[in-house]
Chain A
Amino acid sequence: MDAGTLTRPDSTRDESAETALLSVKNLKKYFPVGDGLFGRKNLRVHAVDGVSFDLKKGEILGLVGESGCGKSTTGRLILRLLEPTSGEIRFMDENIFEAGARRMRELRREMQIIFQDPYASLNPRMTIGATLEEPLIIHRIGARDERRARVRQLLEKVGLDPEVVNRYPHEFSGGQRQRIGVARALALNPKLIVADEPVSSLDVSIQAQVINLLEDIQEEYALSMIFIAHDLNVVRHISDRVAVMYLGRIVELAQAPDLYRQPLHPYTEALLTAIPIPDPKIKRNRILLEGDLPSPVNLPPGCRFYSRCPKRIPDCLKEDPPLVQIRPGHWAACILAK
């Protein structure tokens, strides 16, 4: 690998936008709970329960939803950090769940993750230089000098002084640590990055720095990105398309402007009106949802949003509505959507 340049010559943003880099098909992940204890057998949390979507080359897809909706589990399945209960993920037209250990290691070069808590995901006893060099060593990339040069270049790329290579994670602020997390994800020149709540533990003033950085690197390397977050403002800002998840399902999927301007699912609508806006002059009609999320163990029959839906009708209990295309590129899982 050429350690001097990070540019990927074969990809330009425009021509690549049409092809799907990643294709998720009917993905399911159930976790067993209370297995056998007190005789409660076969109880399972339906963490991800039939998720399908495509990610185009160079696209940022936002995955939003509240805690327990399955967004992080979906992210981990995409990197095969978890094995699915069923379903398929095709990455560059290859089913990753069929790849053997050796092939999987090759594939992992192309897909990287950025975690929420950069402190917990950095080894406190390794210098920043060693942390960033490690993936290059594992994948046998470059000679020692080349690797070191690459590390310095990565640090510069994410806005850190290359002189920090000998420092340890605790010597950095939260924002700087997340920059290191971004540098590590970039080290192997991946095609896909899964960013799991990458800015939610950062202060407001620092959050904007990291969002700008993520947008810059996405553009420069024509990266594809799954951006997982609960903050709908951040997701709107960074994403090309947005998928809203509820209890293990995608309930709405559309281009970001369409989804925020004309939400079709009552859950999306309620989520949007629940976001506090930092302008006291804006008064809104808030849709207040009743109650909490139902248990993902005992899923209610019919639509999973029924128990909290302000628009529910008896027909909603008949079947779990599939995600269907209501308008061009705008999908919703609601029998009332039109």
Chain B
Amino acid sequence: MNPAVLSIKNLKTQFHTAEGVVRAVDGIDLTVRSGRVLGVVGESGSGKSVTALSVMRLIPQPPGKIVSGQVWFNGADLMTLKENEMQAIRGKKIAMIFQEPMTSLNPVFTVGNQISEMLRLHLNMNRKDARIRAIELLDLVGIPSAERRVDDYPHQLSGGMRQRVMIAMAISCNPEIVFADEPTTALDVTIQAQILVLLEELRNRLGMSLVLISHDLGVIAEVAHDVAIMYAGRIVEEAATEELFSHPLHPYTQGLLASLPRFDKAGGRRDRLQAIPGAVPKMTEELPGCKFTPRCGVAVPRCGREEPPLKEVRPGHRVRCWVAFGDTP
């Protein structure tokens, strides 16, 4: 097994809102291994983006607060670093790619300017070298005529090109880990395919680890080596990708896979999809047992009372479900 480059232990992040305390991330353990792609899957509000922002210490505070947990990276707990020490890691050792490149790029600076700034800040490059390196990076991420595009403003680029610029910025300092939060969700499917190929090429070439956060099980199946499924601020299932897709054990994972329409398996039009009933719980509510119980088709009485632990039930395959542990109705 590849060595761990980053370990998250019992991370809890909360937001104080008018409606109460939102437990966005509620006790997460995750390990990012060297040279691997970890896929983090979840629907809106599952806590997957907040997990990444917590690791980067980018949670707006207030209203947010990391209430407990450790994030071990290169022998240090990121949660205990001073802000200036964290700045030396953020963007340099651990980088992030966001879903919407238009909102994460500064509209009043050229893309070359924005990449150069990273290089000058983190690698102490001078203006001239930074510009040359910025052009090389744009070229590396597949932007045609990079020496011309380096002087473009974000609005002059297409969505796919902007995401390539974001990727160029993320890899500019040769990070050990890149967190990519829904990096292809805003893109068309043919552009998504281009970006996924690019990420895979760069990862192989630069030897970095990638944490791919996505709601799209298709993208995850294609790119990730390992998968963690999140629901209501917790990890409910975790395994190597092939294992997880061939033996999903948590009723939520099973439900997600069954609810997807698939063109490669389509039958007649009147095949009903197997929807998961109900909706995700309000995160301000405190449910005593498993958070999925109200929507679960196989729940036993214990599920509503007692929260199951995340336990290994097959080699390398951990799940948080009493029924998967053998409790029967």
Interface on A for B, CB 8 Å cutoff?
A: 60, 66-67, 173, 175-176, 203-209, 211-212, 215, 219, 230, 232-234, 236-240, 256-257, 260, 270-282, 286, 288-289, 291-293
Q: Is there contact, CB below 8 Å, between A208 and B190?
A: no
Q: With A239-B269, A271-B190 given, is the CB distance from A232 to B263 under 8 Å?
A: yes
Q: Is there contact, CB below 8 Å, between A233 and B189?
A: no
Q: With A205-B276, A208-B275, A233-B263 given, is the CB distance from A281 to B194 under 8 Å?
A: no
Q: Is there contact, CB below 8 Å, between B241 and A280?
A: yes
Tell me the chain B residues, 222-277 only, with Cβ under 8 Å from chain A. 222, 241-242, 245-246, 255-257, 259-264, 266, 269-277
Residue from A230, A256, A279 within 8 A of B269 (CB atoms):
A256
Q: With A209-B277, A260-B263 given, is the CB distance from A279 to B190 under 8 Å?
A: no
Closest CB of chain A to B100's CB: distance in Å? 14
Q: Is there contact, CB below 8 Å, between B219 and A276?
A: yes
Closest CB of chain B to A323's CB: distance in Å? 21
B114 within 8 A of A: no
Closest CB of chain A to B191's CB: distance in Å? 7
Q: Is there contact, CB below 8 Å, between A66 and B190?
A: yes
Complex-state Cα separation, A293 to B161, whole angstroms: 12
Residue from A206, A207, A278 within 8 A of B218 (CB atoms):
A278
Q: Can you report 15 A-B residue pairs in the complex whose CB atoms are below 8 A from each other?
A: A175-B279, A203-B43, A205-B276, A206-B275, A208-B259, A211-B261, A232-B189, A233-B262, A275-B218, A276-B222, A279-B245, A281-B245, A288-B193, A288-B194, A292-B160
B158 within 8 A of A: yes
Q: Is there contact, CB below 8 Å, between B189 and A275?
A: yes
Complex-state Cα separation, A280 to B242, whole angstroms: 6
B79 within 8 A of A: no
Q: Is there contact, CB below 8 Å, between B222 and A280?
A: yes
Residue from B44, B159, B217, B273 within 8 A of A212 (CB atoms):
B273
B139 within 8 A of A: no
Give the nearest-CB partner of A267 in chain B. B190
Q: Is there contact, CB below 8 Å, between B279 and A277?
A: no
Give the nearest-CB partner of B43 in chain A. A203
- Complex contacts, A291 vs chain B, CB 8 Å: 144
B188 within 8 A of A: yes
- Complex contacts, A292 vs chain B, CB 8 Å: 158, 160-161, 191
B53 within 8 A of A: no
Q: Is there contact, CB below 8 Å, between A280 and B261?
A: no
Closest CB of chain A to B54's CB: distance in Å? 22
Q: Is there contact, CB below 8 Å, between A274 and B246?
A: no
B contacts with A, residue count (CB < 8 A): 50
Give the nearest-CB partner of B216 in chain A. A276
Complex-state Cα separation, A293 to B158, whole angstroms: 9
Complex-state Cα separation, A276 to B241, whole angstroms: 14
Closest CB of chain A to B145's CB: distance in Å? 12
Q: Is there contact, CB below 8 Å, between A286 and B160?
A: no
Complex-state Cα separation, A106 to B216, whole angstroms: 42
Q: Is there contact, CB below 8 Å, between A278 and B262?
A: yes
B215 within 8 A of A: yes
Q: Is there contact, CB below 8 Å, between B246 and A281?
A: yes
Q: With A233-B261, A275-B189, A292-B191 given, is the CB distance from A204 to B217 under 8 Å?
A: yes
Give the nearest-CB partner of A219 in chain B. B270
B121 within 8 A of A: no
Complex-state Cα separation, A260 to B277, whole angstroms: 29
Q: Is there contact, CB below 8 Å, between B263 and A276?
A: no
Q: Is there contact, CB below 8 Å, between B188 and A275?
A: no
Complex-state Cα separation, A307 to B16, whole angstroms: 52
Q: Is there contact, CB below 8 Å, between B221 and A278?
A: yes
- Complex contacts, B275 vs chain A, CB 8 Å: 205-206, 208-209, 211-212
B313 within 8 A of A: no
Give the nearest-CB partner of A232 in chain B. B263
B197 within 8 A of A: yes
Closest CB of chain A to B236's CB: distance in Å? 13
Q: Is there contact, CB below 8 Å, between A278 and B260?
A: yes
Q: With A203-B215, A205-B256 given, is the CB distance from A230 to B188 under 8 Å?
A: yes
Which 5 pairs show the lowest CB-CB distances between chains A and B?
Answer: A276-B218, A237-B261, A208-B275, A66-B188, A208-B259
